Amino acid sequence: MSTFKAPKGTYDLIPPDSAKYLAVREAIAAPLRNSGYGYIETPGFESVELFARGVGESTDIVTKEMYAFETKGGDRLALRPEGTASVLRAALEANLHKAGNLPVKLWYSGSYYRYERPQKGRYRHFSQVGAEAIGAEDPALDAELIILADQAYRSLGLREFRILLNSLGDQECRPVYRAALQDFLRGLDLDEETLRRADINPLRVLDDKRDDVQKQLVGAPLLRDYLCDACKAYHEEVRELITAAGVSFEDDAKLVRGLDYYTRTTFEFVHDGLGSQSAVGGGGRYDGLSEMIGGPALPSVGWALGVDRTVLALEAEGVTLQLPAATSVFAVPLGDEARRVLFGVVSELRRNGVAADFSYGAKGLKGAMKNANRSGARYTVVAGERDLAEGVVQLKDMESGEQVAVGVNEIVAELESRLS
Protein backbone atom coordinates (compact mmCIF):
# COMPACT_ATOMS: atom_id res chain seq x y z
CA MET A 1 0.00 0.00 0.00
CA SER A 2 1.68 3.23 -1.13
CA THR A 3 1.62 6.17 1.26
CA PHE A 4 1.13 8.65 -1.59
CA LYS A 5 -1.99 9.04 -3.69
CA ALA A 6 -2.78 11.16 -6.72
CA PRO A 7 -4.06 14.62 -5.62
CA LYS A 8 -7.83 14.98 -5.19
CA GLY A 9 -9.69 15.41 -8.46
CA THR A 10 -6.87 14.02 -10.61
CA TYR A 11 -6.27 10.62 -12.15
CA ASP A 12 -3.43 8.51 -13.51
CA LEU A 13 -3.62 7.00 -16.97
CA ILE A 14 -2.45 3.39 -16.75
CA PRO A 15 -2.22 0.55 -19.32
CA PRO A 16 -4.30 -0.96 -20.79
CA ASP A 17 -6.80 1.96 -20.42
CA SER A 18 -4.23 4.54 -21.43
CA ALA A 19 -4.15 3.04 -24.95
CA LYS A 20 -7.72 4.27 -25.39
CA TYR A 21 -6.69 7.85 -24.53
CA LEU A 22 -3.79 7.72 -26.97
CA ALA A 23 -6.12 6.45 -29.71
CA VAL A 24 -8.58 9.29 -29.00
CA ARG A 25 -5.81 11.92 -29.16
CA GLU A 26 -4.55 10.42 -32.39
CA ALA A 27 -8.04 10.36 -33.95
CA ILE A 28 -8.67 14.02 -33.09
CA ALA A 29 -5.25 15.10 -34.36
CA ALA A 30 -5.38 13.14 -37.65
CA PRO A 31 -7.86 15.37 -39.57
CA LEU A 32 -6.01 18.49 -38.32
CA ARG A 33 -2.62 17.26 -39.58
CA ASN A 34 -4.35 16.54 -42.85
CA SER A 35 -5.63 20.13 -43.14
CA GLY A 36 -2.51 22.25 -42.72
CA TYR A 37 -2.36 22.48 -38.90
CA GLY A 38 1.15 22.36 -37.37
CA TYR A 39 1.85 21.08 -33.85
CA ILE A 40 2.55 23.55 -31.03
CA GLU A 41 3.47 22.94 -27.38
CA THR A 42 3.42 25.65 -24.69
CA PRO A 43 4.46 25.66 -20.99
CA GLY A 44 2.10 24.27 -18.34
CA PHE A 45 2.09 27.64 -16.60
CA GLU A 46 1.93 31.25 -17.77
CA SER A 47 1.66 34.72 -16.30
CA VAL A 48 -1.59 35.14 -14.31
CA GLU A 49 -2.18 38.34 -16.27
CA LEU A 50 -2.39 36.46 -19.59
CA PHE A 51 -5.44 34.53 -18.40
CA ALA A 52 -6.96 37.43 -16.47
CA ARG A 53 -6.91 39.53 -19.64
CA GLY A 54 -7.50 36.77 -22.15
CA VAL A 55 -10.07 34.53 -20.49
CA GLY A 56 -11.71 37.41 -18.56
CA GLU A 57 -11.50 38.88 -15.05
CA SER A 58 -15.14 38.04 -14.28
CA THR A 59 -15.16 34.42 -15.48
CA ASP A 60 -15.42 31.56 -12.99
CA ILE A 61 -12.20 30.18 -14.48
CA VAL A 62 -10.18 33.22 -13.40
CA THR A 63 -12.01 34.13 -10.19
CA LYS A 64 -12.53 30.65 -8.71
CA GLU A 65 -10.83 27.86 -10.64
CA MET A 66 -7.32 29.01 -11.51
CA TYR A 67 -4.29 27.58 -9.71
CA ALA A 68 -2.33 30.82 -9.20
CA PHE A 69 0.93 31.09 -7.25
CA GLU A 70 3.90 33.36 -6.69
CA THR A 71 7.38 32.10 -7.54
CA LYS A 72 10.47 32.59 -5.39
CA GLY A 73 11.42 35.38 -7.78
CA GLY A 74 8.11 37.16 -7.16
CA ASP A 75 6.45 36.32 -10.52
CA ARG A 76 2.69 35.73 -10.44
CA LEU A 77 2.05 32.56 -12.44
CA ALA A 78 -0.92 30.25 -13.03
CA LEU A 79 -1.25 26.66 -14.21
CA ARG A 80 -2.97 26.93 -17.58
CA PRO A 81 -6.76 26.52 -17.27
CA GLU A 82 -7.27 26.47 -21.06
CA GLY A 83 -5.19 26.42 -24.24
CA THR A 84 -6.14 29.31 -26.52
CA ALA A 85 -4.54 32.22 -24.67
CA SER A 86 -1.22 30.33 -24.37
CA VAL A 87 -1.17 29.32 -28.04
CA LEU A 88 -1.96 32.86 -29.18
CA ARG A 89 0.73 34.27 -26.85
CA ALA A 90 3.29 31.83 -28.29
CA ALA A 91 2.29 32.63 -31.89
CA LEU A 92 2.60 36.38 -31.25
CA GLU A 93 5.91 36.01 -29.43
CA ALA A 94 7.37 34.01 -32.34
CA ASN A 95 5.90 36.47 -34.88
CA LEU A 96 4.24 33.58 -36.72
CA HIS A 97 1.64 36.05 -38.06
CA LYS A 98 4.43 37.88 -39.92
CA ALA A 99 6.15 34.76 -41.24
CA GLY A 100 3.93 34.14 -44.26
CA ASN A 101 0.52 32.65 -44.86
CA LEU A 102 -2.42 33.68 -42.72
CA PRO A 103 -4.19 32.03 -41.08
CA VAL A 104 -1.50 30.45 -38.91
CA LYS A 105 -3.00 27.01 -38.22
CA LEU A 106 -1.88 25.20 -35.06
CA TRP A 107 -2.96 22.15 -33.08
CA TYR A 108 -1.94 21.09 -29.59
CA SER A 109 -2.48 18.42 -26.98
CA GLY A 110 -1.87 18.62 -23.24
CA SER A 111 -3.08 18.82 -19.64
CA TYR A 112 -5.05 21.75 -18.20
CA TYR A 113 -5.82 22.56 -14.60
CA ARG A 114 -8.87 23.96 -12.82
CA TYR A 115 -9.73 23.93 -9.14
CA GLU A 116 -13.24 22.48 -9.52
CA ARG A 117 -15.54 20.31 -7.44
CA PRO A 118 -14.52 16.89 -8.77
CA GLN A 119 -17.23 14.68 -10.28
CA LYS A 120 -17.45 12.14 -13.10
CA GLY A 121 -16.16 13.82 -16.24
CA ARG A 122 -14.93 16.90 -14.39
CA TYR A 123 -11.44 16.76 -12.92
CA ARG A 124 -8.87 19.22 -11.63
CA HIS A 125 -6.43 18.07 -14.27
CA PHE A 126 -7.80 17.10 -17.65
CA SER A 127 -6.52 16.46 -21.12
CA GLN A 128 -7.51 18.27 -24.31
CA VAL A 129 -6.65 18.33 -27.97
CA GLY A 130 -7.20 21.75 -29.50
CA ALA A 131 -6.85 23.65 -32.76
CA GLU A 132 -6.51 27.37 -33.52
CA ALA A 133 -6.58 29.21 -36.86
CA ILE A 134 -5.05 32.64 -36.24
CA GLY A 135 -5.26 35.77 -38.36
CA ALA A 136 -8.17 35.39 -40.79
CA GLU A 137 -11.82 36.35 -40.64
CA ASP A 138 -13.50 33.89 -42.93
CA PRO A 139 -16.68 31.86 -42.38
CA ALA A 140 -15.03 28.96 -44.24
CA LEU A 141 -12.45 28.72 -41.46
CA ASP A 142 -15.13 28.49 -38.75
CA ALA A 143 -16.88 25.84 -40.84
CA GLU A 144 -13.62 23.94 -41.46
CA LEU A 145 -12.92 23.57 -37.73
CA ILE A 146 -16.44 22.38 -36.93
CA ILE A 147 -16.31 19.87 -39.80
CA LEU A 148 -12.87 18.55 -38.70
CA ALA A 149 -14.08 17.99 -35.12
CA ASP A 150 -17.15 16.19 -36.47
CA GLN A 151 -14.88 14.06 -38.67
CA ALA A 152 -12.64 13.19 -35.69
CA TYR A 153 -15.59 12.05 -33.58
CA ARG A 154 -17.12 10.01 -36.40
CA SER A 155 -13.77 8.32 -37.12
CA LEU A 156 -13.83 7.06 -33.51
CA GLY A 157 -17.31 5.59 -34.08
CA LEU A 158 -19.22 8.20 -32.04
CA ARG A 159 -22.72 8.87 -33.38
CA GLU A 160 -24.84 10.28 -30.55
CA PHE A 161 -23.21 13.68 -30.13
CA ARG A 162 -24.88 16.94 -31.11
CA ILE A 163 -23.36 20.19 -32.33
CA LEU A 164 -24.91 23.36 -30.88
CA LEU A 165 -24.29 26.57 -32.81
CA ASN A 166 -24.80 30.26 -32.06
CA SER A 167 -23.44 33.69 -32.93
CA LEU A 168 -22.36 36.13 -30.23
CA GLY A 169 -22.20 39.14 -32.56
CA ASP A 170 -19.29 41.58 -32.63
CA GLN A 171 -18.25 44.91 -31.13
CA GLU A 172 -20.94 46.64 -33.25
CA CYS A 173 -24.03 44.73 -32.18
CA ARG A 174 -23.07 43.07 -28.91
CA PRO A 175 -23.06 46.30 -26.80
CA VAL A 176 -26.67 47.02 -27.87
CA TYR A 177 -27.72 43.52 -26.88
CA ARG A 178 -25.70 43.70 -23.67
CA ALA A 179 -27.58 46.84 -22.57
CA ALA A 180 -30.96 45.22 -23.34
CA LEU A 181 -29.99 42.08 -21.41
CA GLN A 182 -28.79 44.13 -18.43
CA ASP A 183 -32.13 45.97 -18.31
CA PHE A 184 -33.94 42.64 -18.31
CA LEU A 185 -31.69 41.10 -15.62
CA ARG A 186 -32.05 44.08 -13.28
CA GLY A 187 -35.76 43.34 -13.10
CA LEU A 188 -35.19 39.79 -11.80
CA ASP A 189 -34.86 38.47 -8.27
CA LEU A 190 -31.16 37.51 -8.34
CA ASP A 191 -28.58 37.17 -5.55
CA GLU A 192 -25.89 39.82 -5.19
CA GLU A 193 -23.08 37.90 -6.84
CA THR A 194 -25.23 37.18 -9.91
CA LEU A 195 -26.26 40.85 -10.12
CA ARG A 196 -22.59 41.83 -9.92
CA ARG A 197 -21.88 39.41 -12.75
CA ALA A 198 -24.76 40.95 -14.72
CA ASP A 199 -22.98 44.32 -14.43
CA ILE A 200 -19.56 43.02 -15.58
CA ASN A 201 -20.60 40.42 -18.14
CA PRO A 202 -24.35 39.83 -18.42
CA LEU A 203 -23.96 37.08 -21.04
CA ARG A 204 -22.42 34.86 -18.36
CA VAL A 205 -25.73 34.91 -16.44
CA LEU A 206 -27.40 33.10 -19.37
CA ASP A 207 -24.91 30.29 -18.73
CA ASP A 208 -25.99 29.91 -15.06
CA LYS A 209 -26.89 26.26 -14.46
CA ARG A 210 -29.16 26.84 -11.43
CA ASP A 211 -32.85 26.04 -12.01
CA ASP A 212 -34.21 29.09 -10.15
CA VAL A 213 -32.08 31.37 -12.35
CA GLN A 214 -32.97 29.52 -15.56
CA LYS A 215 -36.70 29.78 -14.76
CA GLN A 216 -36.39 33.57 -14.47
CA LEU A 217 -34.46 33.76 -17.75
CA VAL A 218 -37.48 32.63 -19.79
CA GLY A 219 -38.31 35.55 -22.07
CA ALA A 220 -34.82 37.08 -21.84
CA PRO A 221 -33.86 39.00 -25.00
CA LEU A 222 -31.95 36.78 -27.46
CA LEU A 223 -28.72 37.82 -29.09
CA ARG A 224 -29.80 36.59 -32.51
CA ASP A 225 -32.53 39.28 -32.58
CA TYR A 226 -29.84 41.94 -32.12
CA LEU A 227 -27.22 40.78 -34.65
CA CYS A 228 -26.11 43.45 -37.14
CA ASP A 229 -26.39 42.66 -40.86
CA ALA A 230 -22.68 41.79 -41.17
CA CYS A 231 -22.86 39.26 -38.31
CA LYS A 232 -26.11 37.79 -39.65
CA ALA A 233 -24.58 37.29 -43.11
CA TYR A 234 -21.41 35.81 -41.61
CA HIS A 235 -23.37 33.37 -39.45
CA GLU A 236 -25.59 32.38 -42.35
CA GLU A 237 -22.53 31.50 -44.44
CA VAL A 238 -21.04 29.37 -41.64
CA ARG A 239 -24.36 27.50 -41.39
CA GLU A 240 -24.56 26.97 -45.16
CA LEU A 241 -20.99 25.64 -45.43
CA ILE A 242 -21.46 23.18 -42.55
CA THR A 243 -24.78 21.99 -44.00
CA ALA A 244 -23.26 21.56 -47.47
CA ALA A 245 -20.57 19.34 -45.90
CA GLY A 246 -23.31 17.06 -44.57
CA VAL A 247 -22.69 17.97 -40.92
CA SER A 248 -25.86 18.44 -38.88
CA PHE A 249 -26.13 20.98 -36.05
CA GLU A 250 -28.75 22.64 -33.86
CA ASP A 251 -29.18 26.40 -33.44
CA ASP A 252 -28.95 27.28 -29.75
CA ALA A 253 -29.73 30.95 -29.09
CA LYS A 254 -28.62 30.68 -25.44
CA LEU A 255 -25.18 29.18 -26.05
CA VAL A 256 -22.49 31.54 -24.70
CA ARG A 257 -19.48 29.37 -23.57
CA GLY A 258 -17.56 30.17 -20.39
CA LEU A 259 -14.83 32.47 -21.75
CA ASP A 260 -15.02 36.20 -22.37
CA TYR A 261 -13.07 36.27 -25.60
CA TYR A 262 -15.64 34.75 -27.99
CA THR A 263 -17.19 36.79 -30.84
CA ARG A 264 -19.52 35.71 -33.64
CA THR A 265 -19.43 31.92 -34.19
CA THR A 266 -19.64 29.87 -31.02
CA PHE A 267 -20.32 26.12 -30.81
CA GLU A 268 -20.36 23.20 -28.44
CA PHE A 269 -20.24 19.43 -28.88
CA VAL A 270 -22.54 17.72 -26.40
CA HIS A 271 -23.20 14.07 -25.65
CA ASP A 272 -26.39 13.15 -23.83
CA GLY A 273 -24.88 9.96 -22.43
CA LEU A 274 -22.70 11.92 -19.99
CA GLY A 275 -25.27 13.32 -17.54
CA SER A 276 -24.68 16.83 -16.25
CA GLN A 277 -21.18 17.17 -17.75
CA SER A 278 -22.56 16.79 -21.27
CA ALA A 279 -20.13 19.02 -23.17
CA VAL A 280 -17.33 17.01 -24.78
CA GLY A 281 -15.76 20.02 -26.45
CA GLY A 282 -16.41 23.39 -27.98
CA GLY A 283 -15.00 26.61 -29.25
CA GLY A 284 -15.64 29.62 -31.41
CA ARG A 285 -14.28 32.77 -32.97
CA TYR A 286 -12.27 35.19 -30.82
CA ASP A 287 -11.54 38.22 -32.97
CA GLY A 288 -10.51 40.58 -30.17
CA LEU A 289 -8.29 38.30 -28.07
CA SER A 290 -5.00 39.26 -29.73
CA GLU A 291 -5.52 42.96 -28.86
CA MET A 292 -6.61 42.02 -25.32
CA ILE A 293 -3.20 40.43 -24.71
CA GLY A 294 -1.24 43.22 -26.37
CA GLY A 295 -0.97 41.96 -29.94
CA PRO A 296 -2.17 43.37 -33.28
CA ALA A 297 -5.69 42.73 -34.60
CA LEU A 298 -5.69 39.03 -35.55
CA PRO A 299 -9.19 37.61 -35.98
CA SER A 300 -9.04 33.91 -35.05
CA VAL A 301 -11.15 30.83 -34.40
CA GLY A 302 -10.51 27.56 -32.56
CA TRP A 303 -11.77 24.70 -30.43
CA ALA A 304 -10.70 22.25 -27.75
CA LEU A 305 -12.07 18.73 -27.32
CA GLY A 306 -11.82 16.94 -23.98
CA VAL A 307 -10.00 13.62 -24.23
CA ASP A 308 -11.45 12.34 -20.90
CA ARG A 309 -14.97 13.36 -21.90
CA THR A 310 -14.60 11.76 -25.33
CA VAL A 311 -13.54 8.47 -23.69
CA LEU A 312 -16.65 8.68 -21.44
CA ALA A 313 -18.80 9.34 -24.53
CA LEU A 314 -17.35 6.24 -26.24
CA GLU A 315 -18.18 4.20 -23.12
CA ALA A 316 -21.71 5.65 -23.00
CA GLU A 317 -22.29 4.54 -26.61
CA GLY A 318 -20.66 1.17 -25.99
CA VAL A 319 -18.07 1.82 -28.71
CA THR A 320 -15.00 -0.43 -28.44
CA LEU A 321 -11.97 0.98 -30.21
CA GLN A 322 -10.04 -1.45 -32.41
CA LEU A 323 -6.66 -1.10 -30.74
CA PRO A 324 -3.71 -3.04 -32.15
CA ALA A 325 -2.20 -5.59 -29.72
CA ALA A 326 0.73 -4.04 -27.88
CA THR A 327 2.78 -7.20 -28.46
CA SER A 328 2.77 -9.52 -31.51
CA VAL A 329 5.52 -11.95 -30.54
CA PHE A 330 6.56 -13.16 -27.07
CA ALA A 331 9.83 -15.05 -26.58
CA VAL A 332 10.23 -17.72 -23.88
CA PRO A 333 13.84 -18.91 -23.35
CA LEU A 334 14.56 -22.00 -21.26
CA GLY A 335 18.22 -21.89 -20.20
CA ASP A 336 21.14 -19.49 -20.70
CA GLU A 337 21.98 -20.33 -24.30
CA ALA A 338 18.30 -19.87 -25.25
CA ARG A 339 18.23 -16.48 -23.48
CA ARG A 340 21.14 -15.27 -25.60
CA VAL A 341 19.68 -16.57 -28.89
CA LEU A 342 16.07 -15.44 -28.32
CA PHE A 343 17.12 -12.03 -27.02
CA GLY A 344 18.88 -11.59 -30.37
CA VAL A 345 15.71 -12.71 -32.20
CA VAL A 346 13.58 -10.21 -30.24
CA SER A 347 16.02 -7.37 -30.95
CA GLU A 348 15.98 -8.14 -34.68
CA LEU A 349 12.16 -8.33 -34.77
CA ARG A 350 11.94 -4.93 -33.05
CA ARG A 351 14.41 -3.40 -35.52
CA ASN A 352 12.18 -4.68 -38.31
CA GLY A 353 9.11 -3.03 -36.80
CA VAL A 354 7.54 -6.09 -35.16
CA ALA A 355 6.22 -5.55 -31.61
CA ALA A 356 8.06 -8.18 -29.58
CA ASP A 357 8.59 -8.88 -25.86
CA PHE A 358 10.70 -11.26 -23.82
CA SER A 359 10.28 -13.36 -20.69
CA TYR A 360 12.51 -11.53 -18.19
CA GLY A 361 13.54 -12.97 -14.83
CA ALA A 362 14.36 -16.67 -14.54
CA LYS A 363 10.83 -18.08 -14.91
CA GLY A 364 9.96 -21.70 -15.61
CA LEU A 365 7.94 -22.66 -18.70
CA LYS A 366 4.57 -22.48 -16.92
CA GLY A 367 5.10 -18.95 -15.52
CA ALA A 368 6.58 -17.70 -18.78
CA MET A 369 3.63 -19.03 -20.83
CA LYS A 370 1.25 -17.22 -18.45
CA ASN A 371 3.12 -14.00 -19.24
CA ALA A 372 2.91 -14.77 -22.95
CA ASN A 373 -0.86 -15.19 -22.64
CA ARG A 374 -1.29 -11.94 -20.72
CA SER A 375 0.80 -10.04 -23.27
CA GLY A 376 -1.86 -10.65 -25.92
CA ALA A 377 0.85 -11.79 -28.37
CA ARG A 378 -0.33 -13.70 -31.43
CA TYR A 379 2.81 -15.88 -31.50
CA THR A 380 5.12 -17.30 -28.84
CA VAL A 381 8.64 -18.48 -29.63
CA VAL A 382 9.96 -21.10 -27.17
CA ALA A 383 13.46 -22.55 -27.16
CA GLY A 384 15.29 -24.94 -24.82
CA GLU A 385 18.73 -26.62 -24.96
CA ARG A 386 17.45 -29.58 -27.00
CA ASP A 387 15.76 -27.29 -29.60
CA LEU A 388 18.92 -25.27 -30.06
CA ALA A 389 21.03 -28.43 -30.40
CA GLU A 390 18.79 -29.27 -33.39
CA GLY A 391 19.05 -25.66 -34.71
CA VAL A 392 15.32 -24.90 -34.25
CA VAL A 393 12.88 -22.97 -32.06
CA GLN A 394 9.21 -23.82 -31.36
CA LEU A 395 6.71 -21.36 -32.85
CA LYS A 396 3.29 -21.46 -31.19
CA ASP A 397 0.20 -19.78 -32.71
CA MET A 398 -1.64 -18.53 -29.59
CA GLU A 399 -5.00 -18.42 -31.39
CA SER A 400 -5.07 -21.94 -32.89
CA GLY A 401 -2.72 -23.53 -30.34
CA GLU A 402 -0.78 -25.09 -33.23
CA GLN A 403 2.99 -25.45 -32.70
CA VAL A 404 5.73 -25.98 -35.32
CA ALA A 405 9.53 -26.18 -35.27
CA VAL A 406 11.23 -23.43 -37.30
CA GLY A 407 14.96 -23.06 -38.01
CA VAL A 408 16.70 -20.48 -35.81
CA ASN A 409 17.89 -18.59 -38.89
CA GLU A 410 14.43 -18.60 -40.51
CA ILE A 411 12.34 -17.56 -37.48
CA VAL A 412 12.45 -13.76 -38.09
CA ALA A 413 11.45 -14.08 -41.76
CA GLU A 414 8.74 -16.64 -40.86
CA LEU A 415 7.19 -14.35 -38.23
CA GLU A 416 7.34 -11.33 -40.55
CA SER A 417 5.53 -13.18 -43.34
CA ARG A 418 2.87 -14.54 -40.92
CA LEU A 419 2.25 -11.11 -39.41
CA SER A 420 2.20 -9.10 -42.64
Q: Is residue 1 part of a domain?
A: no
Pair 261, 384 in one domain: no
Pair 302, 340 in one domain: no
Measure the CA–CA gap between 137 and 93, rounded to whole angstroms: 21
Choose one of 317, 344, 368: the last residue of a domain: 317
Choose one of 276, 296, 317: the last residue of a domain: 317
Number of domains present in the structure of the chain: 2
Pair 238, 345 in one domain: no
Residue 206: predicted pLDDT: 81
312 Cα distance to chain centroid: 12
Pair 413, 379 in one domain: yes
Residues constituting the chain: 420
Q: How far is CA 4 from CA 1, 9, 65, 123, 389, in A?
A: 9, 14, 24, 19, 51
Pair 400, 251 in one domain: no
Choose one of 285, 317, 349: the last residue of a domain: 317
DSSP label at 376? T
Using CB atoms within 10 A of its CB, is residue 143 exposed (0-12), middle (13-18) or buried (19+)? buried
- Do the Cβ atoms of 390 and 341 come closer than 8 Å? no
Pair 279, 334 in one domain: no
Nearest to 280 by CA among 256, 261, 253, 308: 308
Residue 259: predicted pLDDT: 63
Q: What is the DSSP string of 103-160?
A: SEEEEEEEEEE-----BTTB-SEEEEEEEEEES---HHHHHHHHHHHHHHHHHTT--S
Tell me the pTM.
Answer: 0.90
Residue 14: predicted pLDDT: 95
Pair 96, 240 in one domain: yes
Pair 361, 267 in one domain: no
Q: Is residue 192 part of a domain?
A: no
DSSP label at 97? G
Pair 155, 278 in one domain: yes
For residue 125, the enclosing domain spans: 17-173+227-317
Predicted confidence pLDDT, tens digits, the chain (420 residues): 668 999 999 999 998 899 999 999 999 999 999 999 999 999 999 999 999 888 877 677 777 899 999 999 999 999 999 999 999 999 999 999 998 889 999 999 999 999 988 877 789 999 999 999 999 999 999 999 999 999 999 999 999 999 999 999 988 888 888 889 889 988 888 888 888 888 887 887 887 878 888 888 888 898 889 999 999 999 999 999 999 999 999 999 888 766 667 889 999 999 988 877 689 999 999 998 999 999 999 999 999 999 999 999 999 999 999 888 889 999 999 999 999 999 999 999 999 999 999 999 978 899 999 999 999 999 999 999 999 999 999 999 999 999 999 999 999 999 999 998
Q: Is residue 211 part of a domain?
A: no
Q: Is residue 216 part of a domain?
A: no
The domain that holds 372 is classified in CATH as 3.40.50.800
Pair 367, 310 in one domain: no
Q: Is residue 395 part of a domain?
A: yes
Pair 132, 269 in one domain: yes
Q: Is residue 207 part of a domain?
A: no
The domain that holds 42 is classified in CATH as 3.30.930.10
Pair 362, 283 in one domain: no
Q: Is residue 285 part of a domain?
A: yes
Q: Is residue 194 part of a domain?
A: no
